């Protein structure tokens, strides 16, 4: 399947109104992967108007029809899976094995959405449980769920397929129309998704994809009174701006924002298992995951043993070409990200943290042209350091030490974030007691932080977001409850 190189508005593939274009770079080589339209406010307005006009078509589709189209897209994605995986890798530098896993996960997400489209239930309300007003025994009360309207979906680069589908698929399952603003660093999978929906027969205008800067395209989506809900995944500061602007038009918000996820290793933990989770949680996709392990909080009794094994494990990671199936860690998305990582590492080092491994850009040999940062272990990190408070979207592990459970819990909660956390212990009851005191949307016991399931709630507290994803929960967020009362007295 040929990857589209234009935007998708009102069922047509179009250039930007301004005719401007932008280059999409491969972060592993800085080579131009594609040239795509650089849309602006006028393009966003056209897409929004198309989505508004298409609401009638979307709401007239039966649950069976919506379910069938979503399932057809799942099958088309599966058939074109290898092409999609290669597109993800070339566009955002994700190792090819991870891109294949993301593509397979996309099929699952679409399948779940197809199933949930047929399970949007209301409920009956026993009005005769009220004494007043008289006659309640003859009143039948029930609720139905209706589409919220037009959904603005703003997706990130790090999972350019699956996190997009976590917005689009539930919105369409619920009968909404959608305007997508994909990341400028990773727009190509979104265009491919639009192509799949077009092939599956989705009526025009129900799905629109607009490319361009967030300050123009994104801002138009956020501020438009014609947009009824926003589903956004990205950094916390941008999310706060979206919440403030969106509130002016009373938009419904699902905001999946940053995380500073702790992995707590208690003194009775199986260290080898904790090391394995720390490795996968910290360095998968070069740490560019909102649920990645950012801080490892170690009991002082097992710290030395853990670090010895952890250093050995990190030393086995292969940094290199993401198209190489043996690569463990690829590049970060762009030079700005590379600089931010390095600034945080140097700041921590200057304030007393010890760089046990890595700690610099990898700019030699075949890596010289890419945005590669060495897998890094920082020991002796304390709460006042920037690396302990700021989300570092890169392959960096911040090691902290706790003398007891109480101190570990205090360290874990000492950030503005509350997305996910992990606890390692051989005592399940102890793990649950600690988990109940961790301020996070999700806590894993004896597992890694970077996990989610499509039929489970996903989202954070504090400044890690509002609302919940997970297909059925997202459908709930993107529908309105209508209460109907029928008086059946003769």
CATH classification of the domain holding 437: 3.40.309.10
User: Quick check: is 290 catalytic?
Assistant: yes
Tens digits of residue pLDDT in 426-443: 999 999 999 999 999 999
Q: Are residues 281 and 409 in the same domain?
A: yes
Confidence of residue 143 (pLDDT cuts 50, 70, 90): very high
Angle at 69 between CA 63 and CA 74, to 5 degrees: 125
- Same domain for 440 and 475? no
**Coil, strand or helix at 184:** coil
Give residues with Cβ within 8 angstroms of 131, minimum separation 6.
none
Cα gap 214→486, rounded to integer Å: 47
Same domain, 211 and 318: no
> Among 102, 116, 290, 391, which one carries the catalytic annotation?
290
Mean pLDDT of 371-398: 97
Within-domain flag for 371: yes
- One domain for residues 315 and 179: no
Same domain for 274 and 243?
no
* pLDDT for the residue numbered 3: 87
* 73 shares a domain with 11: yes
Instruction: Calculate the CA 457 to chain-centre distance.
Output: 13
Mean pLDDT across the chain:
97
Residue 1 lies in a domain: no
45 within domain boundaries? yes
**CATH code at position 13:** 3.40.605.10
Q: What are 221-258's pLDDT values in tens digits?
A: 999 999 999 999 999 999 999 999 999 999 999 999 99
Q: Is there a single domain that holds both residue 201 and residue 274?
A: no
Residues 267 and 342 occupy one common structural domain:
yes
Domain housing 125: 7-257+463-484
Whether residue 72 is contained in a domain is answered as yes
In this structure, what token pair is assigned to residue 200?
């599956």
Structural domain includes residue 458: no
Nearest by Cα to 331 from 370, 305, 283, 294: 370
In a domain, 163, yes or no: yes
Residue 1 has pLDDT above 80, yes or no: no
Number of structural domains (the chain) is 2
Q: Nearest 5°: CA angle at 97, between 95 and 103?
A: 105
Residues 240, 396, 459: CA angle, nearest 5 degrees: 35
Q: Do 145 and 294 fall within a single domain? A: no
On whether both 335 and 389 belong to a single domain, the answer is yes
Of the candidates 256, 391, 469, 477, the residue annotated as catalytic is: 256
Tell me the β-bridge partners of 9.
Answer: 12
Percent of the chain whose predicted confidence (pLDDT) is above 70: 100
User: Which residues have a Cβ under 8 Å from the Cβ of 56 and sit 6 or more positions away?
Assistant: none
Same domain (yes/no): 39, 164: yes
Give this prediction's pTM.
0.96
Alpha-carbon distances, residue 280 vs 140, 197, 285 (angstroms)? 54, 33, 9
Q: Which two tokens stand for residue 464?
A: 């890690």
Query: Does the structure show a pLDDT above 90 at 79?
Result: yes
pLDDT of residue 162: 97
Residues 48 and 178 in one domain: yes
User: What is the tens place of the pLDDT at every residue in 316-346?
Assistant: 999 999 999 999 999 999 999 999 999 999 9
Burial of 329 (0-12, 13-18, 19+ CB in 10 A): buried
Q: Is residue 382 part of a domain?
A: yes
């Amino acid at each position: 399947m040929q990857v589209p190189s234009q935007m998708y508005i009102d069922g047509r593939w179009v250039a930007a109104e301004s005719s401007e274009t932008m280059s999409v770079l491969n972060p592993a080589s800085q080579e131009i992967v594609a040239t795509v339209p650089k849309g602006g406010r006028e393009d966003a307005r056209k897409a929004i108007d198309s989505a508004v006009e298409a609401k009638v078509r979307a709401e007239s589709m039966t649950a069976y029809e919506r379910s069938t189209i979503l399932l057809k897209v799942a099958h088309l994605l599966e058939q074109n899976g290898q092409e999609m995986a290669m597109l993800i890798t070339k566009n955002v530098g994700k190792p090819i094995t991870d891109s294949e896993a993301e593509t397979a996960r996309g099929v699952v997400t679409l399948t779940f959405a197809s199933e949930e489209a047929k399970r949007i239930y209301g409920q009956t309300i026993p009005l005769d449980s009220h004494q007043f007003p008289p006659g309640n025994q003859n009143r039948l009360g029930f609720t139905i769920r209706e589409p919220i309207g037009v959904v603005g979906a703003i997706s990130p680069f790090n999972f350019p397929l699956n996190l997009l589908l976590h917005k689009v698929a539930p919105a369409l399952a619920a009968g909404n129309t959608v305007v997508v603003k994909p990341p400028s660093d990773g727009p190509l999978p979104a265009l491919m998704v639009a192509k799949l929906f077009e092939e599956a027969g989705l009526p025009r205008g129900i799905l629109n994809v607009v490319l361009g800067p967030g300050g123009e395209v994104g801002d138009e989506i956020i501020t438009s009174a014609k947009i009824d809900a926003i589903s956004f995944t990205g950094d916390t500061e941008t999310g706060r701006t979206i919440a403030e602007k969106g509130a002016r038009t009373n938009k419904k918000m699902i905001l999946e924002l940053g995380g500073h996820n702790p992995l707590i290793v208690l003194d009775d933990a199986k260290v080898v298992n904790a090391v394995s989770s720390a490795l996968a949680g910290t360095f998968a996709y070069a740490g560019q995951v909102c649920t990645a392990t950012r801080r490892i909080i170690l009991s002082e009794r097992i710290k030395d043993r853990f670090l010895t094994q952890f250093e050995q494990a990190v030393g086995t990671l292969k940094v290199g070409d993401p198209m190489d199936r043996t690569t463990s860690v690829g590049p970060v998305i762009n030079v700005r990200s590379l600089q931010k990582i390095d600034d945080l590492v140097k700041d921590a080092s200057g304030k007393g943290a010890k760089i046990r491994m890595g700690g610099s850009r990898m700019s030699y040999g075949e890596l010289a042209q890419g945005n590669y940062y060495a897998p890094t272990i920082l020991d002796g990190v304390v709460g006042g350091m920037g690396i302990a408070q700021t989300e570092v979207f890169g392959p960096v592990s911040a090691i902290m030490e706790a003398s007891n459970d109480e101190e570990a819990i205090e360290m874990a909660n000492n950030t503005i974030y509350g997305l996910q956390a992990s606890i390692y212990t051989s005592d399940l009851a102890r793990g649950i007691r600690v988990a109940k005191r961790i301020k996070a949307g999700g806590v894993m016991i004896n597992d890694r932080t970077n996990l989610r399931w499509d039929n489970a709630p996903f989202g954070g507290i504090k400044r890690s977001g509002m609302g919940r994803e997970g297909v059925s929960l997202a459908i709930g967020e993107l529908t309105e409850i209508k209460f109907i009362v029928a008086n059946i007295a003769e």
